[in-house]
A = this chain, B = another copy of it.
Amino acid sequence: MTQPGNVTQLQMSMCLMLDTFEKYAKTDGDPNSLSKSEVKTLLEKEMPGMISGAKDQKAVDDLFKALDFDGNGVMDFEEFMVVVAALTCAFRGPYLTCRNLSYCWGPILQK
């Protein structure tokens, strides 16, 4: 984050999403897309508890397959934004209650 002042709350959220994608996308290969291992690292670091509870790699593979809408094996920024939007919608209810996503968040891939 290298944001000077005069950035609104909504713009700040957009900057954070752009920076998050870039941070993980640049770790291997194309900086404009997330490989499967980059998606896994991103979810482990940014959404702790979401996939850490997954018992095996298959759950992560299934998740990635579902998120890679155009089936090219990587997740581009548009696909990333669809995921973030869906997750934010899913956690609006719990957030309205407890006001803290890090507490609301449960291991949704535990089986």
* Chain A residues engaging chain B, CB cutoff 8 angstroms: 1-4, 6-20, 22-23, 42, 45-48, 77-78, 81-82, 84-85, 87-89, 91-92, 95-96, 99-102, 105
Contacts and interface: CB of A to CB of B under 8 A. Distances in A.
Nearest to A42: B10
Contact of A101 (B11, B81, B87): B11
Taking chain A's interface residues, is the majority helix, strand, or loop, or is none over half, making it mixed?
Answer: helix
Q: How many copies does the complex hold?
A: 2
A41 to B, nearest CB: 12
B20 A9 contact: yes
B84 A47 contact: no
A69 to B, nearest CB: 13
B88 A81 contact: yes
